[in-house]
Amino acid sequence: MSDAARDELLTLRDLLRFAVSRFGEAQLFFGHGSDNAWDEAAYLLLHGLHLPLDRLEPFLDARLTSSERARLLAIIERRVGERLPAAYLTQEAWLGDYRFHVDQRVIVPRSFIAELLREQFAPWIDDPEAVGAVLDLCTGSGCLAIIAAHAFPQAIVDAVDVSPDALAVARRNVAEYELAGRVHLCEGDLFEPLGRRRYDLIVANPPYVAADSLAALPAEYRHEPRLALAGGEDGLEVTRAILAGARRHLTTKGLLVVEIGHNREALEAAFPDLAFTWLETSAGDQYVFLLHRDDLP
């Protein structure tokens, strides 16, 4: 951008219009917290100016200092040039009212299980105070484990991930929420580090992208750890392992809740004898299933 063009961008409104145009011109992909150029541009600019993320209107015609303008233009150009998800540029992601630190060691949080946890899995769990133990498999940034600890205030939460890098991020988030006494991070492959522990609730958002879909992902997704995305040939490799091991780690009335992306048809074909309950989320009832302990093999 020439100095003359840069000098014409005087206000936040000017930068917002410019960012939306650049994002549209570059044909960016959205899906890490927003689904359109306007919302993503507004978020990045407000964050870059340390302004409230829900109050754009009062600031639109405020003049920017030269250093503010340079900082915001650099963010815009990184989003376009590197195709980095916005969450990696700001090093934060939101699930509802919960904010989490993220970086490229973890997938950007976006699980539908989060909204179900905020509802305490009603009506499937009738007494949240009675939930004493929760397990979060493939915890990544620790986001679901942290939300589970708030949803079930009497519960101890174990959170497992095979990646030590991911657990380092989770450890930071657990500390920021002051939950180190209740959320225990475990390194290992699914149930392997848990011994004989049993849980009233197991949640999992495992890797579930099938091999052919993985190869076709937009550039933004290819910045995320492959380990957190790749679900094997049909996307169900990790889900199969969870189904095989979950029963022996659930209490008598325990529940298993797993997110599987767009794999419902393949899952039902692979396990025709399992009585899956598909839970309604903001995106529909295709993405998260529930099983009771007695339904499991």
Q: What is the tens place of the pLDDT at every residue in 42-70? A: 999 999 999 999 999 999 999 999 999 99
Residue 164: asked if its preceding bond is cis (omega within 30°), the reply is: no
Q: What is the tens place of the pLDDT at every residue in 266-289? A: 999 999 999 999 999 998 889 999
By the 10 Å C-beta count (0-12 exposed, 13-18 middle, 19+ buried), 99 is classed as: middle
pTM value?
0.93
Q: Which domains does the chain have, with CATH numbers?
A: 3-90 (1.10.8), 95-295 (3.40.50.150)
What is the percentage of the chain residues whose pLDDT exceeds 90? 92
Q: What is the tens place of the pLDDT at every residue in 184-194? A: 999 999 999 99
Q: What is the tens place of the pLDDT at every residue in 198-215? A: 999 999 999 999 898 988
Q: Is the pLDDT of residue 260 over 90?
A: yes
Dist. CA 82–CA 77, nearest whole Å: 8
Read off the amino acid at residue 183.
V
Dist. CA 46–CA 42, nearest whole Å: 6
